[in-house]
């Protein structure tokens, strides 16, 4: 009952480009969260040593 659709080369190329864009967006988000977390932890450590 599951009938597979045959994609044209243009559709496959578009799908691959979308997948790459989603992957890069996700990677960028993960890097942003990591950088913000490290920055906040550094600030936290600096405030503790000053007080």
Position 30 in a domain: yes
- Total domains, the chain: 1
Q: How confident is the model at residue 47, as a pLDDT? A: 74
What are 1-51's pLDDT values in tens digits?
567 889 999 999 999 999 999 999 999 999 999 999 999 999 989 876 555
Position 7 in a domain: no
Q: How confident is the model at residue 30, as a pLDDT? A: 98
Position 27 in a domain: yes
Position 48 in a domain: yes
3-state secondary structure of 5: coil
Determine the structural domain holding residue 51 and report its residue range: 20-51
Q: How confident is the model at residue 49, as a pLDDT? A: 59
Residue 20 Cα distances to 12, 16, 34, 43, angstroms: 12, 6, 21, 34
Q: How confident is the model at residue 22, as a pLDDT? A: 98
Structure tokens at 36: 């913000």
Q: How confident is the model at residue 29, as a pLDDT? A: 98
Q: Are 40 and 33 in contact (CB under 8 A)?
A: no
Position 26 in a domain: yes
């Amino acid at each position: 009952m599951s009938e597979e659709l045959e994609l044209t080369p243009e559709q496959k190329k578009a799908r691959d480009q979308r997948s790459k864009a989603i992957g890069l967006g996700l990677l960028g988000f993960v890097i942003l969260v990591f950088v913000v977390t490290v920055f906040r932890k550094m600030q936290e450590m600096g405030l503790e040593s000053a007080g």
